[in-house]
Amino acid sequence: MGFGQLLRKAVEDKTQLAEKFPKSGTQVEDLGPDVRAEVRRYTLSRFRYHVVVARIGKDAFVVAVAHTSRDPDYWHDRLR
């Protein structure tokens, strides 16, 4: 299995974990007054990425699979 497949599997596993245990991620604060979603960041253990999940009610959306060395707030505009 190549690294691309390993990364994809890690993202899928973390997404399933976020679905099963929605409060297990780190809550993202200071997103602005227009954002009504609860946003949490889940860190991949083997790769330098976060899976960012937004929840509105019972619905959950993956907002970003963000590399940790990139600007940590680049995906914020996706929430509006």
**Span 3-12, pLDDT tens digits:** 999 999 999 9
Query: What pLDDT shows up at residue 42?
Result: 96
Count: domains in the chain: 1
In this prediction the pTM is 0.89
**Span 42-74, pLDDT tens digits:** 999 999 999 999 998 889 999 999 999 988 788
Query: What pLDDT shows up at residue 73?
Result: 81
71 lies in which domain range? 3-79
Amino acid at 75: W
Instruction: Please list the residues that pair with 53 across neighbouring strands.
Output: 40, 62
The answer for residues whose C-beta is within 8 angstroms of residue 40's C-beta and 6 or more apart is 18, 22, 23, 24, 25, 26, 27, 28, 52, 53, 55
Average pLDDT across the chain, whole number:
91
How far is Cα 24 from Cα 15, in angstroms, rounded to an integer?
A: 11
